Amino acid sequence: MTRKLRILSTISVFSLLACGGKEEEEASAPLRIPTYHEDVAPILAEHCASCHVEGGVAPFPLVEYEDAQRTAEAIRISTASRSMPPFVLDNSGECNTYVEGRWLSDAQIETLAAWARAGAPEGTAPRGGPPAPKALANLDRVDMTIDMEDAYTPDAAAFDDYRCFVLDPGLEEDVFVTGFHVRPGAAEMLHHLTLYAIDTKESEAAAKARDAAEPGLGYSCIDDIHVPDARWIVGAGPGSGALRFPEGTGLRMRAGRKTLLQIHYNQENGRRADRTRIDLMLARSVPNEAAVRRIAATNLFLPPKQPRVEGSASQPVPVDVTLWGLWPHMHKLGRQMHVSASRAGEEKCLARVNDWDFHWQGFAHYTKPISLSWGDEMRITCTYDTLSRDTATTWGQGTNDEMCIAFFYMTEN
């Protein structure tokens, strides 16, 4: 009996020691060295493999051990800086979170770093085989497909080719887009695209005239789409799955009107013919018609050779609204963005971008929508790095001009 007790007390002393040790170690480094199969593969499958797969938008796969082992150091660096997985909005929870926000926790980043520092050990493969890569979201159904009608091969002389295509969805009555899924023809070239609804005959005529004036399919539209009444309905960056607009909301497409598809092709990973399709989910009516409205600082004047210059603007909210999500937009000098709403000295954070990347444009929905009231003051502030410029940079459509915009998907309350 005495002996048994002694053993028990010895065990508990040991386990206490072990606990104490564990806590101390957790604060500095993980307790054991992470291995590929146990710790790393599940993270890569969930957060990376949807793009880093053969034929995906990323230039190399992250599916097998050898893929990860070869790139371990690059994985460590790109995740520590949060340039991978690519997502420009801050999804940490300090300023909202987003549905399908691509984001690693600090603990996951630390696991990848500890694994890389330890020389990328493999560990033992699990019996059930490797974890399945996370499937991207799909639409419930496809009601219409916007198709480019023919294939387009980007201009060999333009590294970044922006092309606009005037397309007829053949609508006999007004409909509401409730979700979309972009299916790129050449995923590795497609940087981002925007589909606009053209609302008036005059704008349609302007778009058609541009199209007719240039040989080949569509027209070049790097500086401007050149169509006045064009309303955003679809926007997607590379590697995104389907997006469903919030329940009960949708964006109107008018009977008889055409659409304008703007695609930004980048030829870094080669050049070939592309025929991209956009699947749409539609409703005849929605309880809450949504609109995309922007807040923008259009008064930008950015002197050259500055590590940090700011532009900002504010405007009052004209009616009670619910904000469901946003698309932040700057050009190549943009570094950070902050959007807020305030009333009587109290500030709500609407969105934050910590490290802007022009190449990752995209729309994201809030996990929890935000209500704003008439008279709330919205404010947008963008910061830029102009060290690379010799002359002042101002607001403009060209990629070497600058912008500072947050496009919000909203409904009136």
Which residues sit at the interface with ligand HEC, rule CB under 6 A? 47-48, 50-52, 57-59, 71, 74-75, 78-79, 83-86, 102, 104, 238-239, 359
CA distance 190 to 335: 23
State the minimum distance, in angstroms, from the CB of residue 140 to ligand HEC: 23
State the minimum distance, in angstroms, from the CB of residue 182 to ligand HEC: 12
State the minimum distance, in angstroms, from the CB of residue 362 to ligand HEC: 9
Which tokens is 5 given? 């007790």
State the minimum distance, in angstroms, from the CB of residue 269 to ligand HEC: 8
E strand or H helix that includes residue 175: strand 175-183
- Pairing between β-strand 175-183 and β-strand 243-244 as defined by DSSP bridges: antiparallel
Nearer to ligand HEC, 105 or 413 (CB): 105
State the minimum distance, in angstroms, from the CB of residue 307 to ligand HEC: 22
Nearer to ligand HEC, 83 or 367 (CB): 83
Q: Whole-angstrom distance between the N-terminal and C-terminal Cα of the chain?
A: 73
Q: How far is CA 340 from the centre of its chain?
A: 20
Nearer to ligand HEC, 71 or 259 (CB): 71
CA distance 279 to 145: 4
Q: Which residues contact 162 (CB under 8 A, 6 or more apart)?
A: 220, 221, 222, 262, 263, 264, 265
Calculated CA dihedral for residues 144, 258, 278, 351, nearest 10 degrees: -120
Adjacent-strand bridge partners of 92? none
Angle at 24 between CA 18 and CA 25, to 5 degrees: 85
- Pairing between β-strand 393-394 and β-strand 346-353 as defined by DSSP bridges: unpaired
State the minimum distance, in angstroms, from the CB of residue 263 to ligand HEC: 16
Q: Which amino acid is at 305?
A: K
CA distance 272 to 277: 16
Nearer to ligand HEC, 69 or 200 (CB): 69
Q: How far is CA 12 from the centre of its chain?
A: 50
State the minimum distance, in angstroms, from the CB of residue 59 to ligand HEC: 5
Which tokens is 182 given? 């972009």
Angle at 252 between CA 251 and CA 256, to 5 degrees: 150
State the minimum distance, in angstroms, from the CB of residue 61 to ligand HEC: 10
Q: Helix axis angle, 72-80 relative to 106-117, nearest 10°? A: 150
Nearer to ligand HEC, 63 or 323 (CB): 63
Peptide bond into 85 cis (omega under 30): yes
Nearer to ligand HEC, 19 or 74 (CB): 74
State the minimum distance, in angstroms, from the CB of residue 156 to ligand HEC: 21
Nearer to ligand HEC, 226 or 359 (CB): 359
Nearer to ligand HEC, 83 or 314 (CB): 83
Nearer to ligand HEC, 58 or 321 (CB): 58
- Residue closest to 391 by CA, chosen among 303, 310, 306: 303
SS3 label, residue 28: helix
Angle at 123 between CA 122 and CA 124, to 5 degrees: 120
Nearer to ligand HEC, 50 or 340 (CB): 50
Nearer to ligand HEC, 104 or 193 (CB): 104
State the minimum distance, in angstroms, from the CB of residue 335 to ligand HEC: 17
CA distance 238 to 219: 22
State the minimum distance, in angstroms, from the CB of residue 121 to ligand HEC: 17
